[in-house]
């Protein structure tokens, strides 16, 4: 690689990095606290996620609904590859929809997954995600490391 090309590549890389940092919708810095997976499993059952989903630890409920919607959670999927995508698929299911799955979308193209945003507390969601996270082959997730900010010394102490 000649010098000019190297400089261009470096310039592009820096521009790309700067662009990432500036995206106001960037997920950088997003971190949920550690959840309780056992409690999450209980929440999964309490919220009736098993009405539509199969999970290796919780079988799907038998119902007429199960004949129409039966979506397996966990494993290695193309749609849920990161922790962020897992959280998004719980709180914003229409964001990334598995259109090829029967029963996944309604006539208007929205996800048929019911929304829990008005009934689930953040703590319940954190535990639920901790439970589901174990069953997905997710990319390694790093908790955000917050820098220790310099604090001016308080006079007189
Ligand atoms: C009424 C049926 C229904 C219920 C109840 C339901 N879901 Fe879903 N869920 C779906 C459908 C349909 C999809 C696939 C289409 C989509 O992404 O919206 C889906 C997708 C998902 C996905 C992404 C799946 C993947 O691997 O691609 C996750 C994670 C998920 N749901 C979690 C939950 C959790 C947690 C609950 C309970 C709080 C729940 N769902 C309750 C219907 C449901």
Confidence of residue 151 (pLDDT cuts 50, 70, 90): low
Is the overall model pTM greater than 0.85, yes or no?
Answer: no
CA 42–ligand 1 middle distance (angstroms): 16
> For residue 16, what are the contacts with CB-CB under 8 A and spacing of at least 6?
none
- Count of other CB atoms within 10 angstroms of residue 16: 9
Per the structure block, which two tokens stand in for 28?
A: 């950088």
129 lines ligand 1 (CB under 6 A): no
| DSSP bridge pairs for 53 | 71
Would residue 103 be called left, alpha or beta, if left means φ above 0 and alpha means ψ between -120 and 50 degrees?
A: left
- Give me the pLDDT at residue 14, please: 62
Asked whether the predicted pLDDT for residue 15 surpasses 70, the reply is no
Query: CB-based burial of residue 115 (10 Å sphere; 0-12 exposed, 13-18 middle, 19+ buried)?
Result: middle
Tell whether the model's pLDDT for residue 11 goes beyond 70: no
The alpha carbon of 4 and the centre of ligand 1 are apart by a number of angstroms equal to 50
Q: Which atom of ligand 1 is nearest to the CA of 114?
A: 1
Tell me how far apart the alpha carbons of residues 106 and 155 are, in angstroms, rounded to a whole number: 64
For residue 37, what pLDDT is reported? 95
Q: Virtual CA dihedral for 87, 93, 94, 95, nearest 10 degrees? A: 10
Q: Quick check: CB of 79 below 6 Å from ligand 1?
A: yes
pLDDT greater at residue 25 or residue 155: 25
Confidence of residue 122 (pLDDT cuts 50, 70, 90): very high
Mutate to test the pocket of ligand 1, among 89, 117, 131 (most ligand atoms within 8 A of CB): 89
Q: Which atom of ligand 1 is nearest to the CA of 120?
A: 38
Q: How far is the CA of 5 from the centre of ligand 1 (A)?
A: 47
Buried b (16+ CB within 10 A) or exposed e, 142-155: eeeeeeeeeeeeee
**pLDDT (tens digit per residue) in 29-58:** 888 899 999 999 999 999 999 999 999 999
Q: What is the CA radius of gyration of the chain?
A: 21
């Amino acid at each position: 690689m000649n010098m000019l090309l190297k400089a261009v590549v470096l310039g592009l890389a820096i521009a790309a990095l700067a662009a990432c940092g500036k995206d106001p919708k960037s997920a950088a810095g997003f971190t949920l606290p550690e959840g309780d997976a056992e409690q999450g499993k209980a929440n999964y059952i309490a919220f009736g996620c098993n009405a539509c989903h199969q999970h290796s630890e919780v079988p799907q409920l038998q119902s007429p609904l199960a004949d129409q919607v039966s979506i397996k959670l966990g494993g290695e999927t193309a749609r849920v590859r990161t922790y962020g995508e897992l959280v998004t698929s719980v709180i914003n299911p229409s964001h990334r929809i598995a259109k090829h799955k029967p029963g996944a979308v309604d006539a208007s193209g929205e996800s048929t997954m019911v929304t829990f945003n008005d009934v689930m507390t953040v703590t319940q969601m954190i535990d639920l995600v901790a439970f589901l996270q174990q069953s997905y082959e997710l990319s390694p997730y790093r908790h955000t490391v917050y820098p220790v900010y310099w604090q001016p010394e308080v006079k007189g102490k």
